[in-house]
Amino acid sequence: MHHFQLAITNNGHDEIVKLKHQQIMESRTNQSVTPDVQALMLENLKLAKRVEVLENTLSAGKEVLTLEEAARFMGVTKSSLYKMTHEQTIPYYKPNGKMVYFEKAELLTWIRRNAIASKAQVSEEANRILKNLSVK
């Protein structure tokens, strides 16, 4: 099967969007797609990617996030985030009893808790403790 590749640059990072040849070359009615329609489909993909980048940029500046924004921010599915709220394992707000909101600062604190120290950090801490013991 042939694949068509479209390169999209996103903040200096190249992303390759692979599209199955079949999806590009055939419409839902199995008619051949003209080059003009194919170009429009590709332009649509580019615009969709730009919208996604803009949405992510706007979310980056917000202090309070919706469930969808918080899931994207944390890199988890909405379902996983709903489960965490149901199990009350993550801080969240429900001001009107329906919509769920998250404070970005609290999410960062929650993510950072129980951090696993790197070997270098463990070594530095051990050296600091040994130094304090030898000073006494």
Tell me what pLDDT residue 82 has: 95
What confidence tier does 136 reach under pLDDT thresholds 50, 70, 90? low
Q: Which amino acid is at 77?
A: T
- What is the per-residue pLDDT for 36? 87
The residue behind tokens 């599915």 is: 77
Quick: pLDDT tens for 39-97.
Answer: 888 899 998 888 888 777 776 678 899 999 999 889 999 999 999 999 999 999 999 88
Cβ proximity of 8 and 49 under 8 Å: yes
Q: Are 104 and 64 in contact (CB under 8 A)?
A: yes
Q: What distance in Å separates the CA atoms of residue 31 and residue 89, rounded to the nearest whole number? A: 51
For residue 29, the SS3 value is coil
Q: Tell me the per-residue pLDDT of 27-45, one tens digit each, with 9 for 90 and over.
A: 455 567 788 888 888 899 9
Res. 23 pLDDT band, cuts 50 70 90: low
